[in-house]
Amino acid sequence: MIVALVSGEIGAGKTTICQKVVESARTRGVTCGGLSTPALVEHGRKVGIVGVDLRSGERRVMARIDRDLGGPRVGCYYFMADAFPWANAVIASAVEAGCDLLVVDEIGPLELMQGGGLIPALDLLDAIPRALVVVRLSLVEALRNRLQTKQWTTPTLPSLRVFVTTLDSRDRLPKEITGWLFDPQHH
């Protein structure tokens, strides 16, 4: 099991990097699944989050900043009531289908501080060979500790590496992450 954690500050391009890694993986014939969460932009301004099922291409508005959508509020985001049940079903379906690369975008305060949101995805990681998990920079250590103390079904801990995106690194990271995930000499 190989887990790449993609981290960085808010707006650093974590989701864009994941999308580029998925594109590169697909050109290698890798089956990708899971959840990507690009920004919902209206009139040139980020107003929310869209969930994208990487297997089917289905897109759903998950959260907005400008109105209550009936679900949990996290920071400035108001989530849809069904956002997390849908997102967790997308991730579980990708694992059940046997994807070679699972994307979980994003593990944040709701998951690591409150045990909500996409936290069920972390229990599915050892059912697939590779995972690409987005996590905020301030939460990398909390996620790393959770993954290192998790009861894995395999006798060895996963190979884990953190990739931090910055203005200087974001252009080279997709290739670096893809190499680390799929080329054995990188381990």
Inform me whether the pLDDT recorded for 5 exceeds 80.
yes
pLDDT exceeds 70 at position 187: no
| Residues spanned by the domain of 65 | 2-182
Distances in Å between the Cα of 115 and the Cα atoms of 4, 121, 141 are: 21, 11, 16
Q: Domain with 139 in it: what CATH number?
A: 3.40.50.300
Query: What is the pLDDT, as a whole number, of residue 155?
Result: 61
User: In the structure encoding, which two tokens stand for residue 167, read together?
Assistant: 């203005």
* Average pLDDT estimate for 76-87: 96
What pLDDT band is residue 68 in, cutting at 50, 70 and 90? very high
* 99-146 per-position pLDDT tens digit: 999 999 999 988 999 999 999 999 999 899 999 999 999 999 999 999
- Within its chain, how far is the Cα of 136 from the centroid? 10
Beta-carbon contacts of 56 under 8 Å, excluding residues fewer than 6 positions away, are none
Which 3-state string (H, E, C) describes the chain?
Answer: CEEEEEEECCCCCHHHHHHHHHHHHHHCCCCEEEEECCEEEECCEEEEEEEEECCCCCEEEEEECCCCCEEEEECCEEEECCHHHHHHHHHHHHHHCCCCEEEEEEECHHHHCCCCCCHHHHCCHHHCCEEEEEEEHHHHHHHHHHHHHCCCCCCCCCEEEEEECCCCCCCCHHHHHHHHHHCHHHC
Whether 161 is covered by a domain: the verdict is yes
Which of the residue ranges 11-25, 123-137, 147-161 would you say has the lowest mean pLDDT?
Answer: 147-161
User: How many domains is the chain built from?
Assistant: 1
Residue 187 resides in a domain: no
pLDDT cut 70: percent of the chain above it:
96
Asked if 169 and 16 count as a contact pair (C-beta separation under 8 A), the reply is no
Does residue 171 carry a pLDDT above 80?
Answer: yes
What does the mean pLDDT of the chain come to? 93
pLDDT value, residue 148:
82
pLDDT at 80: 96
Measured between alpha carbons, how far is 87 from 54 in angstroms, rounded to an integer? 11
pLDDT exceeds 90 at position 7: yes
